[in-house]
A = this chain, B = another copy of it.
Amino acid sequence: MAVYTEVSDEELGTFLSAYDVGSLRSYKGIAEGVENSNFLLQTDKGSYILTLYEKRVAPQDLPFFLGLMDHLAAKGIACPTPIHGRDGQALRSLAGRPAAMVSFLNGMSPRRILPAHCAGLGRGMAQMHLAAEGFKLTRANSLSLDGWQRLYGETKTLANDVAPGLEGLIEAEVAWLTANWPAAESLPRGIIHADLFPDNVFFLNDKLSGVIDFYFACHDRLAYDLAICLNAWCFEPDGMFNISKARSMLSAYRDVRPITDAELTALPMLARGAALRFLLTRLYDWLNRPEGAWVKPKNPMEYVQKLRFHQSVSGPGAYGLD
Contact residues of A with B, CB < 8 Å? 1-3, 6-10, 24-32, 40, 42, 47, 104-108, 110-112, 202, 204, 289, 292-296
B40 touches A30 (CB 8 A): yes
Q: Are A112 and B295 in contact (CB under 8 A)?
A: no
* Interface SS, A side: loop
Using known A-B contacts A26-B107, A108-B26, A295-B294, determine if residue A31 contacts B2 with beta carbons closer than 8 Å: yes
Number of copies: 2
Complex CA–CA separation, A1 to B295 (angstroms) = 12
A143 to chain B, nearest CB (A): 25
For residue A10, which residue of chain B has the nearest CB? Answer: B112
A25 touches B294 (CB 8 A): no
Contact of A32 among B1, B10, B29, B296 (CB under 8 A): B29
Chain B residues contacting A1 (CB-CB under 8 Å) are: 3, 29
Q: Is the CB of A111 within 8 A of B8?
A: yes
Question: Which of B10, B40, B202 is in CB contact (< 8 Å) with A40?
Answer: B40
Chain B residue numbers with a CB within 8 Å of A24 are 108
Q: Which residues of B contact A104 (CB under 8 A)?
A: 26
Measured CB to CB, the closest approach of chain B to A45, in angstroms, equals: 14
19 contacts between A and B (CB under 8 A): A1-B29, A2-B2, A2-B31, A7-B111, A8-B111, A9-B111, A9-B112, A10-B112, A24-B108, A26-B108, A27-B108, A29-B31, A30-B40, A42-B47, A289-B292, A292-B293, A292-B296, A293-B294, A294-B294
How far, in whole Å, are A104 and B104 apart by their CA atoms in the complex? Answer: 18
A107 touches B31 (CB 8 A): no
Contact check, A108 vs B32: say whether CB atoms are below 8 A apart.
no
The minimal Cβ–Cβ distance linking A215 to chain B, given in whole angstroms, is 18
Specify the chain B residue showing the minimal Cβ separation from A32. Answer: B28
